[in-house]
Amino acid sequence: MAGKILRNNLAVAVLAILLVILLVYVYASTAIKMPGSVFLQHLTNGLSLGSLFALIAIGYTMVYTILSMINFAHGDIFMISLYFAFFTLSVFNMPWVLAFVCVAALTPIVGILIERFAYRPLRDAPKNSVLISAIGASFLLENAATYLFGGRPKVLPDIPLLSRVISIHSVNFQVVSIVIPILTFAILIALINFINHTKTGIAMRAVAKDHEIARVMGVNINRIISLTFIIGSSLAAVGGFMWGTRYPGITPMMGVMPGLKCFVAAVVGGIGDIKGAVMGGFILGLGEILIVALFPNISGYRDAFAFILLIIILLVKPTGILGSKAREKV
């Protein structure tokens, strides 16, 4: 019954998003006389940006599901992955495919270290202590990156295959703009199948439900939590590598705003629900791009869209679009 309700909520939410896009197109074509090809161009950019938000938001929602905490260092793990990408491509001159694999393999090490030294010792501590530790880990990564790599922006080398521009019926877009949404949906399907149909995935769901009962049933809690951070950090690495191909500038503070937006995306979609995190990412990406396209005079306030949407969601449906109220354990 619950699965049927969730599927219905998901279908209604998707239909609502499509309806909003249709209404926006009608407004754009009639009120401001925007050509259809230009609107499709903005729509493609919005889907690409939304896919990047979705990849990073999944990491937030997975950690929250297992530990009931917000990993505020997740945006900085995303930033570290971009530095890994820069050095593998620029310093070691690796082919981009090999660099991509190295980044996806190295970034989870950072996530594991943060979980081991910043979160695990405080697992039984009050939630405020864990929150402060998460913020401290975020500041540590930012300042360590500034000390090690300097504050001057670095530019990710161009990858010709991904940056190649394709033109279809007057709509121009980079190959990476198509690769990112396809990659996001493939990862989403693989992750859902992994969680629902594998022994390890069932163990993750058990840990998310009740740590103590899962431990009694023989689940290795520490291994499952470490695996959660590995998966979340790997997704941040994939998102970071793809982000760098579209927005090449890399700085130690660049993970702050994307990290906050992806946290908002997870909350909007329903934190604790992977499909909700992906949906929230697409809503944020499309919203940002379309607002700039329709109202260029307020493009400087595009970052405010995420936080205005967060306030609205918290007022109207605090559990998020696909979220459900958690039952209190007695």
Cβ(184)–Cβ(54) below 8 Å: yes
Q: Could you please report the per-residue DSSP string of 222-291?
A: HHHHHHHHHHHHHHHHHHHHHHHHHS-EE-TTTTHHHHHHHHHHHHHH-TT-HHHHHHHHHHHHHHHHHH
φ and ψ of 167, to 5 deg: -115, 125
How does pLDDT run along the chain (330 residues), one tens digit per residue? 444 444 556 777 788 888 888 888 888 888 888 888 888 888 988 999 999 999 999 989 998 988 888 899 999 999 999 999 999 999 899 999 999 999 999 999 999 999 999 999 988 888 888 889 999 999 999 999 999 998 899 988 888 888 888 887 777 788 888 899 999 999 999 999 999 899 999 999 999 888 888 988 889 999 999 999 999 999 999 999 999 988 878 999 999 999 999 999 999 998 888 988 999 999 999 999 988 888 888 878 888 899 999 999 999 988 888 876 655 444
pLDDT at res. 6: 46
pLDDT at res. 204: 92
Domain boundaries, the chain: 44-185+229-316
175-179 own/partner pairs: CB under 8 Å, 24+ apart: 176/48, 176/242, 176/245, 176/246, 177/44, 177/45, 177/47, 177/48, 177/246, 178/44, 178/48, 179/242
